Structure 1
Amino acid sequence: MASLAFSRALLVALAVSTSTAALAQETGNAPAESGAADGDIVVTAQRREQSLLDVPLAVTALGGDTLAERGITNSAQLGDAVPNLQINSPYGDTQPNFSLRGIGVANEYNSNQASPVGVYLDDVYLAPRTSHGMGLFDLDRIEVLRGPQGTLFGRNTTGGAINFITKKPGLSGTDGYIQLGYANFDTITAQGAAEATLAEDVAGLRLAVNYAKGDGQIKNVFPGGRDAASVDSLQGRASLRVKPTETLDIVLRAYGGRDRGTQAAVHGLGAFRTGLGFFETNENRIGENRTDAWGFSANIALELSDRLSLTSITSYDGGKQDLQQAADGSPLDLLDINWRSKYRQFSQELRANYEGDGVTFVGGLFYGWDRNITDNRFNLPLPPAGGFFQHYRQVRKSYAIFGQADIDLADRLVLTIGARYTKDKSRYDDAFAYLFVGGVDDPDTPIATTVPCAGVAGTCPYDPAARFALADTNNALTGRVALSYSFDDGPLVYASYNRGYRAGAVNGGGYTSSAGIGYIEPERVNAYEAGIKGRAGGRLLTYAASAFYYDYSNQQLQDTRAGPVSFLVNAPSSEVYGLEVETTLRPTDGFRVNASLGWLHSKYKELTLQGADLSGNQLPFAPKLTAQLGFEWDMIDVAGGTLTFAPNMAYSSRQYYSPFNTIDAPGTPQVNSELQQGANAKVNASLSWSTDALTVRLFANNLFDRKTHGYGLDLRGAGFPFNFLVPAAPRTYGVSLRYGF
């Protein structure tokens, strides 16, 4: 009943805000002037600086202050602030899977797959999904671009792109901040940044650090067992900016971080759930999610003239993961997995920007290389105790040439046309897997080779020299055509066509046989969108709305079958369409209302898995309705500061975790109806007192302690007597103190 009441209240508020937008337009209230002025949010969604209201794309931009007010401290929490964005993972906050408008990695959990939502750090593409689970600190803003970005961003951006943009030295004076916090689960947080100008207007250095350590959020009742979902992370970043002349601007960035928190909790074997609360587990082997990430980049911008500039972005990044996962959620050793991978990547982009009379052009060249070396160990209930060991190396190379032009056809009427040609090469080699005897804590004793082996596991004699290799090449032409019109003293309206692409992939989950290891087809999306954005009543109301239709082919899915055997397959045909609305209302000074609504229809037009016809099923991680509503109220000035109350609510309708939805494959023990999360609403709130330099903030996330799952996987169909479900975080609350200087 509480969820229903929240839902109704939220929808009423959204209806009022969007109706207000329509009324303001009808009465002819003029918005403030366009351009990056008067407090407008400036974004680089089209690889050049523009006011958010001048960009003919569906973009959500979140500044650092907004993230703090909404209690968003990790990239895995962004779904609470962006319409039609879902974030899930079988590993908790580690290796988050982003789904935008229903397009994501679906039920794929292997580390070698590229996200179809491209993730960027300061315009640098991050290939490994493990590095996407970053803590959010000292950011200028986050830009979330919904819809295919196959022209200017390009690589694997079928669903969209998320760009995390850090603060860079301002080259004048010194500044920084220190923030300390304490929360339940004995969680201590600390972050800070300090900036020094080494030479006025010429050189500056900015250092930032982020630390969090806390007990597990899910209680483990197993005697002496560790609690699940603990926090133990440390991250740092250094940015050096040098501007020796007015036309040359160089930013060098280095970052590093590590995470040592315990694994996400699992609701698994039902017999051991008896008597447990939702936020409890009974597990003898709560492992650690150990991850490391680091990187270096150089962004060099050179102005050749008032109209032409060049930008070079060079990066080299690396990291590793060692995820110890007890997947059975019981005190028995039924399924214990050690996911281990090491990553390296290099990228180089050369870009030219031109602004002429009636024409604006962005174009360039891109090269990307990434490598994944994986060593996974699967302990299964085999007689005698044993399991499978898997090793492979995956190397991908991507080459692209791209360009996009905005052409003024008439006063305030702009044609956008762009194209990108991409060539992706991938090689999967040095691959082998074997069946072994040995317990979870014992050394392996290999008894049979399973990769390469096309037969049933255990039928090929062990050969330590056996190796398996595959290679694949994809070519793609993607692009964008859009028409936009800016009304005189009014909104921007646009209509567009975008084509998106994600390269073909190889099955990283194939370890029981080489029969299931092969490259599958690239994903492709033809996306049609129309939108409007602007202001009404001066700065009273800011709004953006869009409607879209996707023709989506060859979505890459993981099909886990009895054995256990995993196959990576293509869903031949799907369709997605929906609506999005975002509004900000400022009825008085000191009171701001933010609301957004996402409505989504998704279905498989053609899909058969394990003999089950799934045509008409909803895509996984694609709820029909998502919405957010919040306000910031500067209630009173007291003791030289301002007391601000900032609650917000995020609503999601039912979502499925599997393409099967509620259908079970014939002749299997599947119970796929368990792999879903019903409609729910979660409330966050903060109360802060602020002066120019000091902020004291009380906060609570998931205030009403809603009990929800964040991920589910069919393991009954794979031969285990349970399904794998991961509970989302319980209520957290605490206090923080921030001092700026």
Structure 2
Amino acid sequence: MRKILIASLLMAGTSLPTIAHAQDEAASDDSAIVVTAQRREQSILEVPIAISALGGDSLATKGITNSASLQSAVPNLQISSPYGQTQPNFSLRGISVANEYNSNQASPVGVYIDDVYLANRTAHGMGLFDLDRVEVLRGPQGTLFGRNTTGGAINFITRGPSLSGANGYFEAGYGNFNTFTAQGAAEATLIEDAVGLRIAGNWANGDGQVKNVYPGGQDAYSQDTLQGRATLRIRPGNGPLDIKLKAYGGRDRGTQAAVHGFAPFRTGLGFFETNENRMGTNKTEAWGVSANISYELSDKVTLTSITSRDGGKQNLQQAADGSPIDILDITWLSKYNQFSEEARINYSSDKIDLVGGFFYGWDKVVTDNRFNVGSIIAPGVDGGFFQHYDQLRKSTALFAQGDFKLTDQLTLTLGARYTWDRSEYRDGYAYLFMAGVGDPMVPLASTVPCATPAGTCAYDPTLRYAIKGKNNALTGRVALSYKTDGGTLLYASYNRGYRAGAFNVGGYTSSAGITYIDPEQVNAYEAGFKGRFLGMLTLSGAAFYYDYKNQQVQDTRAGPVSFLVNAPKSEVYGAELEASAKLSPMVSVNFAAGYLHARYKKLTLQGTALDGNSLPFAPELTLQGGLDLTLLDNDTGKLKLSPSVSYFSKQFFSPFNTVNAVGSPQVNSELQQGGYAKVNVTASFETGPFTFRAFVNNLFNEKTYVYGLDLRGAGFPYNYLVPSTPRTFGGSVRIAF
């Protein structure tokens, strides 16, 4: 609390700006943002949905440079990962993948880039650059966004050609940990009002941020990222046809997250230190192409087609013991591909706004994981498990939603979506092997397919395991919204969300646990308001109640054996408030708060009743606040200062919370993080085409854990805990042209 007080005094007595980009002053006011949450352009204040929208300037001001740091600006959003910035797990209002760590599982918070759904969670860990805005939609979005949005949806909207003139920018920076960054964009109009091209790129390279004391070992959390994007827009004769063609690609070669593991080797180490003999590298790649084609048949009717093809791969070399001895070392190796097509029609008149369409998509992942588990064969004889499988998912859906204006002030929204999901787990096999880390594997026994404990089935390289799963689901939305004479929007809604069933691919020690479990379902009730008050204050709030069924959670047992199971019933309720105000031409403030009560009403794991426990990654209270102060604004230039603070109350990393399964060696009390606050500060000076910027993130060097996993219950002598990164600071120079 002392640090929160200091941060509050800092914001009250100092000044800081929004990040200086090549956007005008109005673009930095997030309350004025136009969003596409209902698949058409609307002011954020006119959409009866709980939305946080952040423009490019706001992202930079708050120190948000990657998707994993969005939680510092959105109420009731929590982001965690066992792998650092790779494969982030998004939790919105308590709904998340819980303690699941396999990359084949779909996030219950749908992630989109320019309305294109990204099925693989590895692709969600992205650097943020040259964005127009980010829209975070809280609550189920099962009508217009589709399956796997039981928690909500996050849509990253990139900047595209404006078809007028030329512009661009280049920015280079340097920070502690010898971190170099560069990003830029250039836009050219090839034919005025008809053809434009925008190219953007992002690069970051830096030393590890958590020191590894092992002689010659790599430090954790190093950066080595390169991304690029090109968008071609064609609008012949400035007419009704608008074509946007986009291609992107990127790769990451940073070192893995730090691990606090085997306790004997934590002696004498600081929080931001580790002693690891095999610090791994997170090697990921992502690429994609898309075509967004719209045609205005009339001033009332528009046809849109969005076609995409995306892919990538991950090779996560993960030392999972945080020690100089080989207890658990894993290679997560996967390749993924996906295709999607969405065709929709929009109709708009004075009384009715309609959108309806068709969606088809498939995604495929091919996985070859290797788990080295120390002396698993015999004392002094190292070995482990190798696992291979293909997973294919196909989804087809029809959807429609309409806003019916019953009066000039009262609107009824009705929407429905029917989804057909089909999944296949195929070509599955796994075996127990003898080998040290990195050595050639000597197969000893088949474990998949094998329904009995590991080591009991003779090795047979021809054996394969395959199962199928399918779901059909009806989701929908009903809302009533009322706009007062003063312009305030009041609304109440019911939404049903759905997350498709899933395979337990964690079952590599036996095929007995490889099953297809039931889909999740959320029935959500919400009431809220949003509007402008006193000519300077923008305020929005919402209260919600969820009936949440069949959350998919991972249950890791001695063996080690993993089971993916359903938590039959949970209850989630809470409230949110967001406010921003421009107190004067020199001073603006923003504030957000979220309260969350997320509890299991019925859950038993390993014979232990967990009714009443908190859902993982669901802190009861989140607070965010920021201040933008213009200290100087004259012919010389503009000087701004922007401190911001974010607070999170206690959260658990496991459905067990602090309870231990009877008869197990679990110590689940380790798997939690107490309440904490983090402060970021940004300052900038704009003069002519130049912007000079300085920043510090995690000003007070707060020490927190971001992820934890029970490994004691799986037979290991420690739990897996991932610490956060320490304070970072630096500066940059930007030139706009």
TM score, norm. by length of structure 1: 0.95
Give the Å deviation of 1:590: 1.8
Aligned to 1:260: 253
In structure 2, what is the Cα distance between the partners aligned to 1:663 and 1:11?
40
| Separation (CA, whole Å) in 2 of partners of 1:536 and 1:374 | 54
Is the 2:414–2:479 contact (alpha carbons within 8 Å) kept by the matching residues of 1?
Answer: yes
RMSD between aligned residues: 1.5
Aligned residues: 717
Displacement, 1:636?
1.3
Match of 2:141 in 1: 149
Letter of the 1:431 partner, please give it. G
| Change in CA separation of 1:361 and 1:692 when aligned onto 2, cut-off 3 Å | farther
Among residues 339, 346, 356, which one is paired with 2:339 in the alignment? 346
SS in 2 for 1:388: strand
Aligned equivalent of 1:188:
180
Matched, 1:648 2:641: no
Aligned match of 1:2: 2
Q: CA deviation at 1:126?
A: 0.1
2:492 aligns with: 495
Q: Which amino acid aligns with 2:406?
A: L
Asked whether the 8 Å contact 1:618–1:659 carries over to 2, the reply is yes
- Corresponding residue of 1:325: 318
Distance, in Å, in 1 between the alignment partners of 2:633 and 2:581 is 22
Give me the whole-angstrom Cα distance separating, in 2, the residues matched to 1:639 and 1:335. Answer: 61
Tell me by how many angstroms 1:166 deviates.
0.2
Question: 1:669 Cα deviation (Å)?
Answer: 0.7
Contact 2:30 2:55 in 1 (8 A): no
Task: State whether residues 231 and 261 of structure 1, in contact with CA within 8 Å, keep that contact through their aligned partners in structure 2.
Answer: yes
For residue 503 of structure 1, what is the amino acid of its counterpart?
Answer: A
Structure 2 residue 448 is matched with structure 1 residue 451: yes
Query: In structure 2, which of residues 60, 66, 73 is the aligned counterpart of residue 74 of structure 1?
Result: 66
Amino acid at match of 2:74: V
Q: 406, 412, 416: which is aligned to 1:415?
A: 412
Residue 17 of structure 1 corresponds to none
In the alignment, does 2:270 pair up with 1:273? no
Amino acid at match of 1:332: I
Distance 2:314 2:471 in 1: 28
Question: Amino acid of the residue matched to residue 518 of structure 2?
Answer: E
Secondary structure of 2:264 counterpart: helix
Residue 397 of structure 1 corresponds to 394
User: The residue matched to 2:69 in structure 1 has which SS?
Assistant: helix
Query: Following superposition of structure 1 onto structure 2, how do residues 66-215 of structure 1 map, counting pairs within 5 Å?
Result: 66-215=58-207
Letter in 2 for 1:669: P
Identical pairs, percent: 67
Look up the match of 2:608: 612
The answer to whether the 8 A contact 1:111-1:508 is kept is: no
Query: Aligned partners of 1:658, 1:168: CA distance in 2, in Å?
Result: 42
Q: What is the Cα deviation at residue 687 of structure 1?
A: 1.2
Match of 1:40 in 2: 32
- Distance in 2, matches of 1:231 and 1:695, equals 24
Q: How does 1:264-303 map to 2 (within 5 A)?
A: 264-303=257-296
Tell me the residue number matched to 1:26.
none
For 1:296 and 1:233, how far apart are their aligned partners in 2? 20
The reply to whether residue 636 of structure 1 matches residue 628 of structure 2 is no
3-state DSSP class of the match of 1:410? coil
8 Å CA contact retained: 1:10, 1:629: no
| Alpha-carbon contact 2:139-2:152 (below 8 Å) kept | yes
Equivalent residue for 2:18? none
Provide the C-alpha distance between the structure 2 equivalents of 1:133 and 1:588, rounded to a whole number of angstroms.
37
Counterpart in the other structure of 1:701: 697
Is structure 2 residue 299 aligned with structure 1 residue 310?
no
TM-score for both structures, normalised by structure 2: 0.96
Tell me which of 592, 598, 622 is aligned to 2:594: 598
Q: Is the 8 A contact 2:11 2:644 kept in 1?
A: no
User: What is the SS of the residue equivalent to 1:552?
Assistant: strand
Distance in 1 between the 2:534 and 2:76 partners?
A: 28
**Whole-angstrom CA distance in 2 between matches of 1:61 and 1:228:** 32
Q: Partner of 1:515: helix, strand, or coil?
A: helix
- Cα deviation, 1:9-62, whole Å, max 9, x if unaligned, reads 89999xxxxxxxxxxxxxxxxxxxxxxx99821000000000000000000000
In the alignment, the residues of structure 2 paired with residue 586 and residue 4 of structure 1 have an alpha-carbon distance, to the nearest angstrom, of 23
Where does structure 1 lack aligned partners over 5 or more consecutive residues? Answer: 14-36
- Letter aligned with residue 423 of structure 1: W
CA gap of 1:39–1:554, structure 2 versus 1, over 3 A, is closer
1:393-435 per-position Cα deviation (integer Å, ceiling 9, x unaligned): 0000000000000001112100000000000000000000000
Stretch of structure 1 that moved more, 3-12 or 402-411: 3-12
Report if aligned partners of 2:277, 2:325 keep a CA contact under 8 Å in 1.
Answer: yes
CA 1:408/1:529 → structure 2, altered by over 3 Å: closer, same or farther?
Answer: same
1:583, 1:481 → 2: CA distance? 26
- Give matches, 1:367-406, under 5 Å: 367-381=360-374, 382=376, 383=378, 384-406=381-403
Distance 1:438 1:372 in 2: 26
For the residue of structure 1 that corresponds to 2:269, the secondary structure is: coil
Asked whether the 8 Å contact 1:6–1:681 carries over to 2, the reply is no
Name the amino acid aligned to 1:210.
Answer: N
Residues 10, 628 of structure 1: 8 Å contact kept: no
Equivalents in 1 of 2:30, 2:76: separation in Å? Answer: 29
| Maintained 8 Å contact 1:7/1:651 | no
Q: Any unmatched runs of 5+ in structure 2? A: 14-28
Q: 1:228 matched to which residue of 2?
A: 220
Q: Give a deviation string over 1:658-713, Cα, whole Å, max 9, x none.
A: 00000000101101000000000000001110135211011000000000010000
